[in-house]
Amino acid sequence: MKKQSGFTLIELVVAMAVLGLIMGAMVYLFGSSVTSLHVGARQEVVYEEARLLMNELKTTLRYADKDSIKYPEPDVLTYSGTMWDRHMDISQGNNKAYNIRVEWQDAENGLKRLKVTRVTDGKQETTLFPTDSANSVFKEGSQFPITPEEIMVNGSSIVMYKIVLPLQYEFNGQMKTQTLETKVVPSKDEVTETPEEKMRREYMEILNTGKKIDAKEQLTSKEEKLRDDVYAFFGQAGQYYLTNNDNIRKYMHEILYNGAWPS
């Protein structure tokens, strides 16, 4: 008879210990990967919120009417302007007037959130940043995230606006902070336009002013001046002079282009 050999008890204990160490390491690595995935997802959500709001503020400030940008209170910014609403299909778009109000909103635990209200075509949209107040970095006394800076360019003084949006997210049980920052100069008058684009913009500015008067909406200082100039040209007031195609073309031909359309 052959003698059968097998594992000893000590060999089995050692093998089980080694297997336990390997399995424990695998569980730890898997758990770390899942945790990192959740942390990355939270970071991405908060970062996307900040990026979208930054783009909104930067774009609307750039195309805002310079005279409309006001700080009526230390921590409130209001401005208005017009912007083409179909950038990917410009032939089908329209110049849309908008009004923006940026202000603080009290959140929980003494924190604050940024509240941005935009009115376009009589419709109001509100954005809160951050969406989850627990992610807010803004506290009582925090500097308003949009601040003006006066700079000199070619001997002329212009105002540039600095936008700073801090954001935070949880990482390994601690809150990590990042900051998005950009600067923008309201330069609607400096945008390079073809003659056709310039005429379209001027036409729509007059028409939109007339529509706002008809809807009894508040005009910006630039729109008030445009209204007064049109009324002075026709010698009498009336919203009709800013919404009728023939009247708009007559005003543009005689006043804006001195009686000769550009070739």
Amino acid 36: pLDDT: 47
Q: Each residue of 107-121: b (16+ CB within 10 Å) or e?
A: beeebbbbbbebeee
- Divide the 263 residues of the chain into consecutive groups of 10 and give the mean pLDDT of each group: 62 77 73 49 75 91 86 82 65 77 85 92 90 84 88 75 86 77 76 72 90 88 88 89 92 89 74
Nearest residue to 189 (alpha-carbon basis) of 67, 55, 58: 67
pLDDT at 77: 92
So where are the chain's domains?
40-186, 195-256
pLDDT of residue 39: 46
Which H, E and C letters describe 152-213, residue by residue? EECCEEEEEEEEEEEEEEEECCEEEEEEEEEEECCCHHHCCCCHHHHHHHHHHHHHHHHHHH
